[in-house]
C-alpha cells in the first residue's frame, strides 16, 4: 500500500504542477484577447495567429486542467443522493465510479483521439487561416489530456482505497463548485 | 438478443437519469453512458465502429476550438475580480442612502444595483456574494423582514444571468447556433420587465405589510446633498464605463463577445486598482492622462479620421492601462486576489467544458440511434399543440433545474430539443426569431435553478455569507415568492413573444447585421435527426 501511495503522490504532484501552468494560462489568455481587440481597434493590428493562440490556450487549460480539477474534487455532481450517504459510502461510490467510469472512458477517448493527432502530425498540418498557427501540436492535448486524467483517476482510486482500508485519512468532502 | 432501434433512445434516456443520480461527476457518467450505448449499438449493428471516431473529432472541432466557449473563463475571471473590487459596495451604499428613507427603499436599491451589476458581469456567484455581504447586515439592522431580505438579494443577484452580457446567454446562443448579439437584444425586454416585476412586488409589500420593508430614518444617513451624489456617481460612472467596455464594444462590432469578456476582465482589474488605497500617486496621474488621451482619441476618431493623432492618443491610453495592470501585481493584496481569481476560474472552466465533452459523447450516440426522432415524436405529441409543447418544455426545465444547474441543462438537454423547437416555433415568430425567443424563454426559466430551495446556487451563496441570525428556513421561504415572480415572467414571455422579438424586428436591424458580421459563428455540426449517418462535418 505504501508504494501505491507514493505513486499516488507522484501523480498528484505532476498534475498539480501542470494545473499551475493552466491557472496562469487563464491570465495570459485574458491579456492576449484584450490586447488583440485593443490593438485591432487603434492600430488595425491583428493576426490569426493571436486569435488562434487564444483557443489553443483554452484547449490546454481544459484538457490539462481537468486532472487537477479532479484532484481537487471539483467536477460537478448531481449530489441529491450522494450527500445522504455516509462518508465511507461516498468513498465507495468514488472508488467504483473512477474504476468503472472514469479510467476506462478516458483511456478509450485517448485511444480514439490518437489518430486525430497522428494523422495531423504526419501531414504536418497547419491552420487553414492565413497567418495561422501550426495545427498538429494542439491536437496532441486530446490524447495527452485524457491519459493524464486517467492517471489522476488511478491516484484517486489509490487514495480512496487507502482511506477505506484505514491507512490514511483523506479529505474527500464534496462541495458544489462556485460559479 | 436484439434490441429494436425504437427502444434504444428511451433506454438511453432512462439510463441518463439513473446514472446521474448515482452522484459520480456528471461529465464522466455521461461519457460512460454514451460509450456503453455506443458499443451496444455497434453490437446490434445500428452503426459501425468507425462512428465512434466522430466523438473526438467533434470534441476538438466544436468544443476545444470554439471561440465562444472561451468567454466562459473570461467572464468568470471578471466576476471573481469584480466581486471584491469595491464597486458593489459603493453603489449599494450610496443607492441605499438615496432610496433608504422611502418604504422599501433598500429593496429598490438592491434591485437597481443588481440590474446594473448584471449589465456588467455575466456570473451570478460574484454578484450574490458581493451584494449580500454589504446589504444584508444593513437591511437587517433597519428591521427589514429576513425572508424579504434573503429573497430580494438572491433574486436580484440571479438576474445577472438574464441581463446581457450574461454567460448563460452566450452558452445558449452557442448551443442553439444563434448569434450572441441577437440573443442579447432579445434578452433586454424580459430583463427589464423582470426588474419591474421585482420592484412592483416590493411596492405592493410596502403597502400591504409596511413593517416588512420599513423606511430608514432620515437621521441614519451619513451623507446628504452633494457628498451623497458624489458617492452615487463614484459607483455609476465606473459602471457605465465597464458596461460600455463589455456591451458597447460588442454591439458596435469592435469586439467579439469573447474579447469583450477579456476586456471586461482587464477593466475589472483597473477598477480594483483604482479602489485600492495603495494605488500610487504616479499611477493616478498616469490614469488621468490615459483617460484624457482616450477622450481625445475617440473624438479625433469620430470627427476627423483615424489618423496619427488618433493612434498616438490610444497608444497613451493603452500604456496607462498596462501601467495600472502592472501596478495591480505590485500591490500584494491585489496580486493575491487576481491569483485566486484565475485559479478558481481555471478549475471552473475545466469542469464546465468537461460536462460538454461528456454530453458530446452522449449526444453523438443518442442522435446516432435516432434519439432525435424519438424525442421529436414524444414532444410533438404533447396535447395542446405549440402552447402545450412550450408549457411542457418549461415545466420540464423547471423541474430539471432542481437537480441540474444551467450548464448541465444547456449542454445535455438543449442540443436535443433545439431542432424540435425550431420546427414547432417557426410558424409563430418566424424562422429567425424562433430560437432566440425559445432561448431567452429558457434563460428566464433557468433563473429559477439558482433559486429553488434547497439546492439553488444563489441560496447556497447567501447561506455562506449571511450573518448568524439569518435562519436557513428564512432563506428558503424567502426565495419562494421570487421564484413565483420569475415564473410569472416565463409565462409572460410565452404569452407575448413580442417581449423578446420586438427588438429583433425593430429599427435596430442595421446594428444587428453589423454585429452578425463581426461575431464569428460557431461551427456546430448540424444535429442529425434522421437515421444514423457518418457525416459530422461543420455546418454551412
Of A31, A74, A78, the CB nearest to B20: A78
| A59 neighbourhood in chain B, CB within 8 Å | 64-65
Q: By C-alpha distance, which of B409, B417, B390 is closest to B448?
A: B409
Handedness of CA B510, B511, B517, B520 (dihedral sign): negative
Cis-peptide into A12, omega within 30 deg: no
Residue B407 contacts residue B80 (beta carbons within 8 Å): no
The verdict on a CB contact (< 8 Å) between B310 and A42 is yes
User: What does the pLDDT read at residue A178?
Assistant: 59
Residue B462 contacts residue B150 (beta carbons within 8 Å): yes
Count interface pairs A-B at CB distance under 8 A.
221
- Residue B299: enclosing H or E segment and its boundaries? helix B281-303
User: What does the pLDDT read at residue B412?
Assistant: 84
In the three-class reduction of DSSP (H, G, I as helix; E, B as strand; rest coil), residue B535 is classed as: coil
Of B74, B350, B353, the CB nearest to A33: B74
ipTM metric: 0.95
User: What does the pLDDT read at residue A156?
Assistant: 94
**CA distance, residue B139 to nearest chain A CA (Å):** 25
User: What does the pLDDT read at residue A176?
Assistant: 67
Q: How far apart are CA B343 and CA A90, in angstroms?
A: 26
Residue B377 contacts residue A89 (beta carbons within 8 Å): no
The verdict on a CB contact (< 8 Å) between B25 and A85 is no
Q: Which residue of A has its CA nearest to B53?
A: A112
Query: Which whole-number Å values give the CA distances from B310 to A37, B195, B200, B316, B465, in the listed order?
Result: 16, 40, 47, 10, 47
User: Torsions phi, psi of B252, nearest 5?
Assistant: -80, -5
User: Mean pLDDT, to the nearest integer, of A148-165?
Assistant: 94
Across chain B, which has 540 residues, the per-10-residue mean pLDDT values are 85 89 91 93 88 90 89 90 82 86 91 90 80 88 91 92 89 90 91 95 93 83 80 85 88 88 92 87 90 89 83 90 91 91 92 91 89 85 86 89 80 87 88 91 90 78 82 89 94 91 58 37 40 38
Q: Which of the 8 DSSP states describes residue B219?
A: G
Cell, residue A174: 464534496
% residues pLDDT > 90 (chain A): 66
Q: How far apart are CA A70 and CA A62, in angstroms?
A: 12
Mean pLDDT of chain A: 90
In the three-class reduction of DSSP (H, G, I as helix; E, B as strand; rest coil), residue B477 is classed as: helix
Q: How far apart are CA B148 and CA B151, in angstroms?
A: 5
Interface test with chain A among B23, B360, B453, by most A beta carbons within 10 Å: B23
Query: Is the model more confident about A14 or about B531?
Result: A14
| A141 neighbourhood in chain B, CB within 8 Å | 64
Q: By C-alpha distance, which of A174, A121, A27 is closest to B73?
A: A27
| A104 neighbourhood in chain B, CB within 8 Å | 32
The verdict on a CB contact (< 8 Å) between A55 and B67 is yes
Residue A142 contacts residue A113 (beta carbons within 8 Å): yes
| A23 neighbourhood in chain B, CB within 8 Å | 339, 342-343, 346
Query: Which whole-number Å values give the CA distances from B424 to B42, B155, B397, B438, B444, in the listed order?
Result: 32, 31, 17, 10, 20
The verdict on a CB contact (< 8 Å) between B262 and A75 is no
Q: How far apart are CA B1 and CA B12, in angstroms?
A: 17
User: What does the pLDDT read at residue B125?
Assistant: 77
User: What does the pLDDT read at residue A116?
Assistant: 92
| B28 neighbourhood in chain A, CB within 8 Å | 75, 97, 101-102, 105
| B65 neighbourhood in chain A, CB within 8 Å | 55, 59
Q: How far apart are CA B256 and CA B69, in angstroms?
A: 12
**CA distance, residue B232 to nearest chain A CA (Å):** 29
The verdict on a CB contact (< 8 Å) between A62 and B350 is yes
User: What does the pLDDT read at residue B399?
Assistant: 86
User: What does the pLDDT read at residue B167?
Assistant: 87
Of A42, A82, A176, the CB nearest to B314: A42
Cell, residue A155: 491516484
Query: Which whole-number Å values give the CA distances from B318 to B130, B294, B372, B465, in the listed order?
Result: 29, 9, 50, 37
DSSP string, A72-119: TT-S----TTGGGS-HHHHHHHHHHHIIIIIHHHHHHHHHHHHHHHHH
Residue B91 contacts residue B156 (beta carbons within 8 Å): no
Q: Which residue of A has its CA nearest to B408?
A: A76
Q: Which of the 8 DSSP states describes residue A126?
A: B
Q: By C-alpha distance, which of B103, B218, B67, B392 is closest to A52?
A: B67
**CA distance, residue A112 to nearest chain B CA (Å):** 6
Residue B259 contacts residue B317 (beta carbons within 8 Å): no
Residue B164 contacts residue B181 (beta carbons within 8 Å): no
User: What does the pLDDT read at residue A147?
Assistant: 97
CA B326 to chain centre: 30
Give the largest Cα separation in chain B, rounded. 82
Residue B419 contacts residue B527 (beta carbons within 8 Å): yes
Interface test with chain A among B52, B60, B75, B157, by most A beta carbons within 10 Å: B60
Query: Is the model more confident about B171 or about A80?
Result: B171
User: What does the pLDDT read at residue B191?
Assistant: 94
The verdict on a CB contact (< 8 Å) between A26 and B255 is no
| A82 neighbourhood in chain B, CB within 8 Å | 22-23
| pLDDT tier, A17 (very low <50, low <70, confident <90, very high otherwise) | very high
| A139 neighbourhood in chain B, CB within 8 Å | 60
Residue B425 contacts residue B437 (beta carbons within 8 Å): yes
Name the region of A75 (left: φ>0; alpha: ψ -120 to 50; beta: rest): beta
**CA distance, residue A32 to nearest chain B CA (Å):** 8
Q: Which residue of A has its CA nearest to B34?
A: A105
User: What does the pLDDT read at residue A177?
Assistant: 66
Place of cell 476618431: B301
Helix B472-495 to helix B431-446 angle, to the nearest 10 degrees? 160
DSSP string, A28-82: HHHHHHHHHHHHHHHH----HHHHHHHHHHHHHHHHHHHHHHHHTT-S----TTG
Q: How far apart are CA A69 and CA B441, in angstroms?
A: 32
Of B69, B76, B343, the CB nearest to A23: B343
| A37 neighbourhood in chain B, CB within 8 Å | 249, 254-256, 259-260, 262-263
User: What does the pLDDT read at residue B530?
Assistant: 39
In the three-class reduction of DSSP (H, G, I as helix; E, B as strand; rest coil), residue A164 is classed as: helix
User: What does the pLDDT read at residue A179?
Assistant: 54
Instruction: Quote the pTM value.
Output: 0.87
| A138 neighbourhood in chain B, CB within 8 Å | 64
User: What does the pLDDT read at residue B509?
Assistant: 39
User: What does the pLDDT read at residue B505?
Assistant: 57
User: What does the pLDDT read at residue B236?
Assistant: 86
The verdict on a CB contact (< 8 Å) between B67 and A61 is no
Q: Where are the beta strands (DSSP E) in B340-454?
A: none
Q: How far apart are CA B232 and CA B8, in angstroms?
A: 60
Amino acid at each position: 500500500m505504501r508504494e501505491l501511495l507514493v505513486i499516488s503522490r507522484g501523480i498528484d504532484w505532476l498534475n498539480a504542477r501542470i494545473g499551475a501552468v493552466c491557472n496562469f494560462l487563464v491570465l495570459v489568455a485574458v491579456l492576449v484577447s484584450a490586447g488583440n481587440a485593443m490593438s485591432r481597434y487603434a492600430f488595425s493590428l491583428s493576426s490569426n495567429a493571436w486569435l488562434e493562440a487564444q483557443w489553443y490556450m483554452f484547449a490546454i487549460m481544459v484538457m490539462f486542467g481537468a486532472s487537477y480539477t479532479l484532484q481537487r474534487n471539483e467536477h460537478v455532481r448531481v449530489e441529491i443522493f450522494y450527500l445522504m450517504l455516509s462518508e465511507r459510502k461516498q468513498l465507495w461510490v468514488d472508488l467504483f465510479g473512477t474504476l468503472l467510469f472514469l479510467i476506462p472512458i478516458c483511456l478509450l477517448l485517448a485511444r480514439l483521439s490518437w489518430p486525430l493527432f497522428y494523422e495531423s502530425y504526419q501531414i504536418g498540418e497547419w491552420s487553414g487561416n492565413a497567418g495561422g498557427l501550426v495545427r498538429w501540436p494542439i491536437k496532441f492535448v486530446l490524447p495527452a489530456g485524457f491519459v493524464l486524467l486517467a492517471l489522476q483517476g488511478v491516484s484517486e482510486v489509490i487514495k480512496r482505497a487507502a482511506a477505506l482500508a484505514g491507512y490514511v485519512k483523506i479529505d474527500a468532502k464534496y462541495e458544489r463548485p462556485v460559479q | 438478443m436484439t434490441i429494436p432501434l425504437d427502444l434504444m433512445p428511451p433506454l438511453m434516456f432512462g439510463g441518463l437519469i439513473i446514472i446521474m443520480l448515482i452522484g459520480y461527476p456528471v461529465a464522466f457518467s455521461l461519457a460512460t453512458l454514451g460509450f456503453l450505448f455506443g458499443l451496444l449499438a455497434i453490437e446490434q449493428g445500428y452503426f459501425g465502429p468507425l462512428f465512434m471516431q466522430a466523438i473526438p473529432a467533434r470534441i476538438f472541432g466544436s468544443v476545444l476550438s470554439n471561440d465562444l466557449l472561451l468567454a466562459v473563463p473570461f467572464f468568470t475571471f471578471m466576476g471573481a475580480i469584480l466581486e471584491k473590487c469595491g464597486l458593489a459596495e459603493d453603489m449599494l451604499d450610496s443607492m441605499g442612502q438615496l432610496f433608504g428613507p422611502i418604504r422599501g427603499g433598500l429593496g429598490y436599491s438592491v434591485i437597481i444595483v443588481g440590474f446594473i451589476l448584471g449589465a456588467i458581469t455575466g456570473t451570478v456567484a460574484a454578484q450574490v456574494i458581493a451584494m449580500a455581504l454589504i446589504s444584508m447586515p444593513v437591511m437587517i439592522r433597519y428591521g427589514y423582514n429576513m425572508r424579504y431580505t434573503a429573497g430580494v438579494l438572491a433574486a436580484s443577484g440571479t438576474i445577472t444571468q438574464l441581463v446581457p452580457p450574461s454567460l448563460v446567454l452566450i452558452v445558449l446562443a452557442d448551443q442553439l447556433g444563434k448569434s450572441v448579439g441577437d440573443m442579447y437584444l432579445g434578452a433586454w425586454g424580459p430583463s427589464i420587465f423582470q426588474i419591474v416585476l421585482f420592484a412592483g412586488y416590493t411596492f405592493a409589500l410596502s403597502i400591504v405589510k409596511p413593517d416588512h420593508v420599513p423606511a430608514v430614518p432620515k437621521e441614519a444617513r451619513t451623507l446628504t446633498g452633494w457628498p451623497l451624489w458624489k458617492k452615487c456617481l463614484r459607483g455609476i460612472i465606473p459602471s457605465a464605463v465597464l458596461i460600455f467596455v463589455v456591451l458597447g464594444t460588442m454591439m458596435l462590432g469592435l469586439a467579439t463577445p469573447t474579447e469583450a469578456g477579456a476586456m471586461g476582465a482587464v477593466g475589472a482589474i483597473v477598477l480594483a486598482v483604482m479602489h485600492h488605497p495603495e494605488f500610487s500617486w504616479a499611477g493616478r496621474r498616469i490614469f488621468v492622462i490615459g483617460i484624457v488621451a482616450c477622450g481625445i482619441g475617440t473624438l479625433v476618431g469620430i470627427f476627423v479620421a483615424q489618423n496619427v493623432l488618433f493612434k498616438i492618443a490610444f497608444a497613451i491610453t493603452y500604456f496607462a492601462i498596462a501601467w495600472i495592470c502592472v501596478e495591480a501585481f505590485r500591490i500584494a493584496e491585489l496580486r493575491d486576489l487576481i491569483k485566486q481569481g484565475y485559479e478558481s476560474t481555471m478549475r471552473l472552466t475545466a469542469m464546465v467544458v468537461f460536462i460538454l465533452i461528456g454530453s458530446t459523447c452522449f449526444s453523438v450516440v443518442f442522435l446516432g440511434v435516432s434519439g432525435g426522432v424519438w424525442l421529436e415524436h414524444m414532444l410533438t405529441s404533447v396535447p395542446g399543440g405549440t402552447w402545450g409543447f412550450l408549457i411542457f418544455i418549461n415545466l420540464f426545465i423547471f423541474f430539471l433545474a432542481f437537480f441540474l444547474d444551467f450548464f448541465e441543462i444547456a449542454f445535455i438537454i438543449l442540443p436535443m430539443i433545439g431542432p424540435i423547437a425550431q420546427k414547432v416555433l417557426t410558424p409563430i415568430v418566424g424562422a429567425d426569431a424562433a430560437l432566440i425567443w425559445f432561448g431567452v424563454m429558457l434563460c428566464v426559466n433557468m433563473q429559477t435553478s439558482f433559486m429553488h430551495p434547497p439546492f439553488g446556487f444563489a441560496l447556497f451563496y447567501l447561506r455562506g455569507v449571511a450573518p448568524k441570525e439569518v435562519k436557513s428556513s428564512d432563506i428558503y421561504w424567502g426565495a419562494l415568492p421570487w421564484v413565483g415572480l420569475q415564473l410569472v415572467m416565463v409565462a409572460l414571455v410565452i404569452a407575448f413573444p413580442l417581449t423578446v422579438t420586438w427588438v429583433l424586428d425593430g429599427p435596430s436591424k442595421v446594428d444587428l447585421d453589423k454585429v452578425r458580421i463581426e461575431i464569428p459563428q460557431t461551427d456546430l455540426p448540424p444535429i442529425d435527426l434522421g437515421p444514423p449517418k457518418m457525416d459530422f462535418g461543420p455546418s454551412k
